[in-house]
Amino acid sequence: MKNKHLDVVNIHFIFSIKLACTLLLTITAAHANDSTGYVGTGGVEYIKNKNISMHSEDLYISKEQIRVNYEFKNLSNKDITETILFPMPAVPSFIDSDYADTTATYDDFQVWINGKSIIPQLHVRTFMRPIIIKDSDKTYADTSVDTTEIFKACGINQAEMMTPWTYQFDTEVINQQLLNCNNKKLDQFIDDKDDPSYISWDSQIIYSWEQTFKANTVTKIKHTYTPLVGGSVYLDEEKYADFCVDKSTQRGLNKGSARSYHSYQALSYILTTGANWAKPISSFKLTVERDPNELVSFCWKGKGKVKKIGPTTFEIKESNFVPTHDFDVAFIMK
């Protein structure tokens, strides 16, 4: 992808940092002890403008694809140009072998504006957790700090910073490059400077594009991508509440099954970004599709009712919707 205007990141640096930290917290909350790659991606973001509303959002979620159709309305008599940001979650530099397929996600993000395909700019940022010394004990802070400029100063380029997503480089080689750099700013993040395998950092991808909203006009934006899907060989009953597994679904799992356990896959979608616009979403629709050999379970806190509209398809509709929660869904093998 071409990066024509890299100054976009600088213009929105503070906003991106705040957003990145929010996503890092989401990742921490979303990971269960026995699940991997269960992290959230969400809708388009930008600095809130009182003159632009999200008129409608049509969201489709499956394990294979997330597809969103938006209609944004410029409520003013003047054209408005904003930088739209689409942040992916931050992925750790060390991941388990069964982590979600990050290459499929980052390489599959597509955007259409009023039916015309565009190529968004791609930015990469890195994050590390500072060391905290308390009562002579060393721990790491819960909140990560943006270290992109430190990585750049140490000669680590964007392609290398994307390694947790692409696996194109060896992270230990990059870690050794950090150590060889002797940048004093790294002292607050690295405890053991003798072993590069103990250095931990996260990589976040942010897509952006300049968007002009014509005066008193609806602008249609569509994007699709492959979600990060994690899971486990066993859905513990203690996790039923995470996905609101009700009695009916539990009976469906036990019906005709000789197994006492069921594997599952899960994904998360950050809905709350939809509250960043001028008004509630006038028309919101969520469609969830599962495979024929699965049951699906999720929590919904809105006023809309979950309706089964096909053998494997479920739908929720809301009016004047202000999302106050994110969306976690489990696809459970029968």
Q: State which amino acid sits at residue 269.
A: Y
pLDDT at 251: 77
- Mean pLDDT check: name the lowest of 18-27, 208-217, 250-259: 18-27
Q: Is the dihedral of CA 150, 155, 160, 164 positive or negative?
A: negative
If we measure between CA atoms, which residue out of 314, 294, 313 comes closest to residue 305? 314
Q: Give the mean model confidence (pLDDT) for residues 176-180.
A: 94
pLDDT (tens digit per residue) in 193-217:
888 888 999 998 888 888 999 999 9
Is the pLDDT at 134 greater than 70? The verdict is yes
- Distance of alpha carbon 328 from alpha carbon 325, whole angstroms: 10
pLDDT (tens digit per residue) in 279-330:
888 999 999 999 999 989 999 988 899 999 999 999 999 999 988 888 889 9
Alpha helices, DSSP H, located in 121-208: 148-153, 158-161, 163-166, 171-181
Q: Is the dihedral of CA 79, 80, 83, 89 positive or negative?
A: negative
Is the pLDDT at 22 greater than 60? The verdict is no
- Distance of alpha carbon 245 from alpha carbon 241, whole angstroms: 6
Q: Which CATH class is domain 7-333?
A: mainly beta
What share of the chain has pLDDT > 70, as a percent?
A: 81
pLDDT at 56: 93
pLDDT at 322: 87
Is the pLDDT at 32 greater than 80? The verdict is no
Q: State which amino acid sits at residue 89.
A: P
Chain centroid offset of residue 292 CA: 26
Q: Where are the domains of the chain?
A: 7-333
116 phi and psi, to 5 degrees? -105, 130
Is the pLDDT at 4 greater than 70? The verdict is no
Structure confidence at residue 42 as a pLDDT band (50, 70, 90): low
Quick one: DSSP state of residue 94?
S
**Cβ(23)–Cβ(136) below 8 Å:** no
pLDDT at 88: 80
Structure confidence at residue 105 as a pLDDT band (50, 70, 90): confident
Distance of CA 231 to CAs 48, 92, 250, 288, Å?
35, 17, 18, 17
Higher pLDDT, 160 or 41: 160
- Distance of alpha carbon 323 from alpha carbon 281, whole angstroms: 9
Structure confidence at residue 260 as a pLDDT band (50, 70, 90): low
